[in-house]
A and B are shown apart, each in its own frame.
Chain A
Amino acid sequence: MTTASERGRRLALLGGTPTFSDPVPLGQLGFPSWERFEAAIRGICERGWYTNHGPLAVEAERRLADELGVAEVVCVSNATVGLMMACRALGLAGSAVVSTFTPPAAAEALLWSGVTPRLCDVEAGGVHADPETVRAAIDDDVCAIVAVNLWGGFADLDGLTALAAERRVPLVLDSAHAFGSAYRGAARGALEVFSFHESHIVNTGEGGCVATDDPELAARLRNIRSSYGAGRPVPVPITSNGRFSEAQAALALLALDDLESARRRNREQFDRYAAALAGVDGLRLVEPARARESNHQSAVVEVDDATFGLSAPQLVRVLRAEGVEAAAPIRRPLHRTTLFRDAAAGPLPRAERAAASLVQLPLGAALSAATAEEIAELIVAAGRSAATLAAAL
């Protein structure tokens, strides 16, 4: 097929026609075939059991536990609520360290639970917190370390597990991005929270789950979630509503059926990006970190503006003009928001650099591998016309 650059078409920002008349969206946006979805919805209507830990929710928890290889899975209405429930189930009180370069869910869950977030920087050459950056942010009040695993990859969980053991605090894993990925080491944290938001590989609209090998912790989580499906009653500091409806459960089960093909699709698109962008000076596709196996659910490129000729925000504007909904994957490190501006002990320069230099590209069910390649070609073309584009911007 002919690509934009081969056609020699002018980029949209320079007066050309946008490559995609229907914008190519970000996010996995996977959904089962309509026929299977319809059958599942009709089944729910026939049973008349809509929520409160119904038969599909029970089955979803069992299959998720099998898939994850853990003893217990507690499905929740979304990952943020799952993290909030986790903080309460662990009885956290004090401060907890979390990377500033993360979506706000974990840090907000800490605040909702009365825990003070201490924001740390990311590792050299990566996007995750590591033992060194966490250690720099730890104070005497520390009650937990939260590792947020980004884009199908992982933080140094073995190193963080050792640090958590040294400080005698639990390691909590925010693996919102990591369902279907496997860490290369043995560490698995006290518990691990996954997201089934539409942007991730398992899409239940909103949704998520908490996985743990600790039956006591699981019992507390079930009691905090709601009284239905609570199992045996155990004392908890507070309850909430974190229920997972039968529709969410139906979508989770169908997504599990499709998991292997979704991973394959993602891998193919990721590889197309990698091949097409290899050798472009000043651009690097971020490989999922420390993954034995990755869901490859995100394509994120690092832009070195001095070499590439365009900054990350400029590249975003070029792509958006073409109908590609590229965006900074994390718009601001948390310490640059009003709410968390006092949560860092000092400057966190690597996170700021990462926020300014990364661009997330579409990858998922809404596009084909050929489209991924076409987007990559647009980026190549943008690099070639960088000087003109920069002047136009």
Chain B
Amino acid sequence: MNPHTSMTDSPALPRPGAARKRAVGDLALLGGDHAFDPPVSTSNLSRPDPERLLGYARRFHDARRYTADGPLGALLEARLREFHECEHVVSFSCGFWALALAIRCLALPGRTEVVMPSLTYRRMADAVAWTGLIPRFCEVDARTLGMTRETAAVALTPQTALILGAQPIVNCCDMSGLEALAAETGLPLLIDSVESTYESYEGRRIGNFGRAELFSMHASKLLNGMEGGYVTTNDSELDARLRRLRAVGADAGGDIAELGINARLSEIHAAFALANLDALGDCIAHNEAIYRTYQRTLCDLPGLRLLAFDESERCGFKNIVVELEEAWPLTRELTIAHLNAEGVLARAYYHPPLHARTTAYEQRGLELPVSDALGGRFLLLPCGANTTADDVCDVVALLHFLSDNAPALRDAARP
């Protein structure tokens, strides 16, 4: 299902009544009308102010510069340096190729494996495989869902070329532990911080950890540049190297010393990102209001535990994740099937875990009982710019209805 289906800005649209399902037969999966039209999704989809966006677009238009190294790419990089309080930001066409290039730059030569969590972004192992290296998966901590020093340490081998950390969807992974492990072993640490863009960790702003951190500006992320990504680093050599590699690897004299790619950010995408960056405070406030509404309304629904943001740190409140505990009376699959049928585009948390997929390329570290167990338990609920607090109340009312009618729903789902 497409999470971007028909997003209009008319919250006043009449609804067939999410909270007004009276009988099991009113559920969309069982023949009733769907509750949300348009659907509500888990994507941020920040809407830029068109005037602000066009104001930025004027600048590249008037300069006749439409791609990287134009006026807006440079401005965006400068603004993101301030935002992350870091020394260097390199923008890219998307996070995926930024990740692949950062892996190529940082992996120790002559070694073959990248240690990374399995319970993470579904294309992360593919990005590793594009670089010719082999993903070796490690567990995450069952409490934080993040990689830790301990889970990474047991996956290290003499072939480890790089530790690739990844933030869980709520809060951060054990970055001080991973930094200590990297320091002790001499291994480079690269962190996918896509889901922690706004966060701080032990008071330090995200964007200053490991050798480099990676971010996405895909429309679904906190900072919507339509497509786009960037790398933060405090290493000026890495900054210069990434800039070269995103533009086919050529140096000023036209030589190509190492394999590059085209991963330049279009100026129009930089304009989108800048317009949304200007309004990031409003976006965070909206996300916090959504989160508070879930906090308030989910507390009396047994079996669903809302993952709490660590408010002793800076939080972006972007993602809403619930754990389906023992007391929740439906399988995750059936819960998602009902929600999706109603237009609630809830999604399973990182499912399937990467180690459980069959791939054409080699993967290692496939015995991961903790990730297997965690992989089936979490659910992402709607949030973002197109979800209102009223929507949240309706979604939670629907969850109540599903819970209250669980035996009948299980019966109806039997073949």
Chain A residues engaging chain B, CB cutoff 8 angstroms = 25, 29, 31, 34, 37-38, 41-42, 45-54, 77-81, 84, 103-105, 108, 111-112, 114, 197-198, 203-207, 228, 236-241, 243, 245-248, 251, 331-332, 334, 337-340, 366
Contact = CB atoms under 8 A, between A and B. Distances in A.
Contacts of A45: 47-48, 50, 53
Contacts of B66: 29, 31, 198, 203, 205
Contacts of A25: 64
A103 B247 CA distance: 12
A323 to B, nearest CB: 15
A103 to B, nearest CB: 8
B59 interface: no
A318 to B, nearest CB: 20
B257 interface: yes
A108 B64 CA distance: 28
Contact of A241 (B48, B97, B254): B97
Contacts of B268: 205, 245, 247-248, 251
Contacts of B57: 37, 41
B144 to A, nearest CB: 27
Contacts of A48: 4, 7-9, 45, 47, 385-386
Given A48-B7, A48-B45, A246-B226, A241 B95 contact: yes
Given A41-B57, A247-B226, 9 more contacts: A42-B50, A48-B385, A49-B4, A51-B219, A108-B259, A228-B2, A238-B130, A245-B227, A339-B249
B67 to A, nearest CB: 5
A339 B6 CA distance: 47
B279 to A, nearest CB: 13
Contact of B264 (A112, A206, A239): A206
B413 to A, nearest CB: 24
Contact of A108 (B65, B96, B260): B260
B188 to A, nearest CB: 21
A52 B248 contact: no
Interface string B35-75: 00000000001011010011001000100111110000000
7 contacts: A37-B57, A48-B7, A48-B8, A51-B226, A53-B2, A112-B261, A245-B226
Interface of B: 2-4, 6-9, 45, 47-48, 50, 53-54, 57, 61, 64-68, 93-97, 123, 126, 129-130, 132, 218-219, 224, 226-227, 248-250, 254-269, 272, 359-361, 385-386
Nearest to A25: B64
B117 to A, nearest CB: 18
Interface pairs A-B: 4 shortest CB-CB: A205-B266, A331-B254, A48-B7, A241-B96
A16 B267 CA distance: 36
B264 A238 contact: no
B257 A338 contact: yes
Contacts of B65: 198
A150 B58 CA distance: 32
Nearest to A245: B226
A248 B96 CA distance: 18
B260 A104 contact: yes
Contact of B259 (A50, A111, A240): A111
A105 B2 contact: no
Nearest to A330: B254
Given A206-B262, A240-B126, A104 B47 contact: no
Contacts of B8: 46-48
Contacts of A51: 4, 218-219, 226-227
Contacts of A104: 248-250, 256, 260
A48 B57 CA distance: 18
Given A51-B218, A104-B250, A80 B266 contact: no
A196 to B, nearest CB: 10
A108 B248 contact: yes
A245 B219 CA distance: 10
Nearest to A91: B360
A31 B266 contact: no
B361 A237 contact: yes
Given A42-B50, A50-B4, A81-B262, A339 B257 contact: yes
Nearest to B219: A50
Contacts of A204: 266
Most buried by A among B129, B130, B267: B130
A228 B61 CA distance: 30
A159 B8 CA distance: 53
